[in-house]
Chains A and B, each alone.
Chain A
Amino acid sequence: MASKVTVTVTVNGRTLSAECEPRRTLADFLRQTLGFTGVHLGCEHGVCGACTIVFNGATARSCCMLAVQADGAEITTVHGLADGETLHPMQEAFWDNHGLQCGFCTPGMLLRACELVEEFPDPTEEQIREGISGNICRCTGYQFIVDAIRDGAQRMRQTS
């Protein structure tokens, strides 16, 4: 067995350290070792997008990285979006537009949606659909997610 390594990460503004084996994925490290349950694990091999996080400023699939690679990184999970009890405008928009049913895909959808709106502040439907093409939802049929992202983009334009 490979010897354990100590990994220090800043997650949603909190700096935390823990030991793990090099083979531990960042997804398992965040969810199981550190308890950030907003990191959802669907496929564990890169195809569903549920485990999406923001890694040093860009979205990444935490199941496609090893924890040891994240040493020193700044990470945001879905729980980093809200400001205390106040939801992020994109979260509000998902709530109001029924952009979720079971909520399993929602952390990845929200983080990807926010990144998408940074690139396209007023996204077209095509840009939204293309932008979330890597995030699979088994419940909504996507239409309400697309509506939510368009609405969320508008709210983000107003608040910025």
Chain B
Amino acid sequence: MKPASVEYHKATSIADAVDVLSSTEDEDAKVLAGGQSLVPMLSMRLARPSVLVDINGLTDLDYIRRDGDWLSIGALTRSRAVEKSAAVRDAAPLLSEAMGFVGHATIRNRGTIGGSVAHADPAAEAPAVLCALDAELVITGPAGARTVGANDFFHGFLTTAVGPDEMLTEIRVPVLPAGTGCAVEELARRHGDFAMVAVFAAVTVGDDGRCTDARLALAGTNPTPVRAREAEAVLVGSGLTAETIAQAAQAAAGVTNSANDIHAPAEYRRDMASVLTRRALRRAASDANVVV
């Protein structure tokens, strides 16, 4: 349980970090953010980079800003700060609620939202909630910055659109429209553990009580977070009744594609996806003042 020998570089700027990432032979340099996933992986020698690029000194990547209809969050912002931020609660309460499920308070004190997203654990909350919110992720590399939508960012187990010479620098979240209700439902062994199944739901309801927009994302059920598009389509235009919610829950279960593992058989996860979707939608509807 001791990390292998490694060089350490404390980045002085984003450009400096990218410089080291792109100049390392074998492209095996790793960004060190909160270290809550990476340092355990170093200790277990599941990761053996030659260089660690510590970005903790880049305080210009630690911010939460509201720019009109967008919320911008620096990659180095601690999970705890995102969870507690009034600006986040105001713009995207689904994100605030989701962050409360990320590990334990001590993990969130140090772990960063950017690290959670870049790590891309299929059972992690931050990647899935950002898919639900149609967030955009800003990736910076030697050629400058580019933006990738959250739903195109996650390529597979611990694999993302971030190249070996790039880093994630910003998370941009569109502000949810008025009349949107949100809810997160998660099944885990203990509060703070990774999700066996988690569902992130946001429904927007018009003046006539009909659902005008629905977002549903699942974590823990697939190699990457997934949107339950068919379930969303069931809801949009409907009155968010018990029947449409049950139908959407069925459709959400249909997108799950997990293997049997030590935590649960695939069938159990599929069933739980349906149960949790129903609960999340009922609560999101009631959050949007619809009585189901």
On A, residues with C-beta under 8 Å from B are 1-2, 5, 21-23, 25, 28, 44-46, 49, 52, 55, 58-61, 63-66, 68-69, 112, 115-116, 130-131, 133-135
Name 23 interchain pairs, CB-CB below 8 A, sorted by A. Answer: A1-B5, A2-B5, A22-B52, A25-B2, A46-B39, A46-B107, A49-B106, A60-B106, A64-B36, A64-B40, A65-B35, A66-B35, A66-B52, A68-B10, A69-B35, A69-B54, A69-B56, A130-B191, A130-B192, A133-B191, A134-B104, A134-B105, A135-B104
Residues of B within 8 A of A1 (CB): 5
* B248–chain A nearest beta-carbon distance, Å: 30
Residues of B within 8 A of A59 (CB): 105-106, 109
Q: Are B39 and A134 in contact (CB under 8 A)?
A: no
- Specify the chain A residue showing the minimal Cβ separation from B190: A133
**Complex interface residues of chain B between 1 and 28 (CB less than 8 A to chain A):** 1-8, 10
Report which of B35, B54, B106 forms a contact with A134, defined as CB distance below 8 A. B106
Label chain A's interface by main secondary structure: mixed
Q: Are A44 and B1 in contact (CB under 8 A)?
A: yes
Chain B 99-117 interface mask (CB, 8 Å, partner A; 1/0):
0000111110110000000
Chain B 177-213 interface mask (CB, 8 Å, partner A; 1/0):
0000000000000111000000000000000000000
* B33–chain A nearest beta-carbon distance, Å: 11
B40, B56, B190 interface centre (most CB from chain A within 10 Å): B40
Please give 16 more A-B residue pairs, beta carbons under 8 A apart, in addition to A21-B5, A115-B105, A134-B105.
A22-B52, A23-B2, A23-B3, A23-B5, A25-B2, A25-B39, A45-B43, A49-B104, A64-B35, A64-B40, A65-B35, A66-B8, A66-B39, A134-B104, A134-B192, A135-B104
Please report the C-alpha to C-alpha distance between residue A44 and residue B106 in the assembled complex, in whole angstroms: 15
Q: How many B residues have CB within 8 A of the partner chain?
A: 32
* A19–chain B nearest beta-carbon distance, Å: 13
On B, residues with C-beta under 8 Å from A are 1-8, 10, 32, 34-36, 39-40, 42-44, 52, 54, 56, 80, 103-107, 109-110, 190-192
Residues of B within 8 A of A28 (CB): 2
Please report the C-alpha to C-alpha distance between residue A49 and residue B56 in the assembled complex, in whole angstroms: 22
Q: Are A64 and B104 in contact (CB under 8 A)?
A: no
* A119–chain B nearest beta-carbon distance, Å: 8
A25 and B3 contact, Cβ closer than 8 Å, known pairs A65-B39, A133-B192: yes
* A141–chain B nearest beta-carbon distance, Å: 14
